[in-house]
Amino acid sequence: MSDWKIRTIFNELSDSYAKYYSPTEYAAVGEIIISFKGRVIFKECISKKHKRFGIKIYKLYDSKEYT
C-alpha cells in the first residue's frame, strides 16, 4: 500500500469516529497484553505477568463501556 492510500483510510476512519462517538467526562486509559509468540520488533516481555510475551495495547475505557 502506498502512503496516500493509508492516509486516506486513516482520514476516513477518524472522520467516522468523530461522527459516531463522543466521549463522556468519565474516561480512563488502560493497557493490556495480547499473547503473541511470533517475531515482531515491538513484542514485550513482562516477567511478572501471566502472559509474559505479547504485544502491549493501550485502550480507552469510557463510562459507556466502549474500548
In a domain, 2, yes or no: no
Q: What residues make up the domain containing 48?
A: 25-67
Written as one string, the DSSP assignment of 8-24 is HHHHHHHHHHHHH----
Any domain includes 44 = yes
Q: What is the total count of domains within the chain?
A: 1
pTM over 0.75: no
All three cell numbers of 2: 502506498
Task: Examine residue 15 and state whether it is found in any structural domain, yes or no.
Answer: no
Tens of pLDDT, residue by residue over 21-67, are 777 788 888 887 777 777 776 666 666 666 667 777 888 888 876 66
Is the CB of residue 55 less than 8 Å from the CB of residue 47?
no
Q: Residue 14 pLDDT > 70, yes or no?
A: yes
Cα(37)–Cα(40) distance, integer angstroms? 9
pLDDT at residue number 48: 65
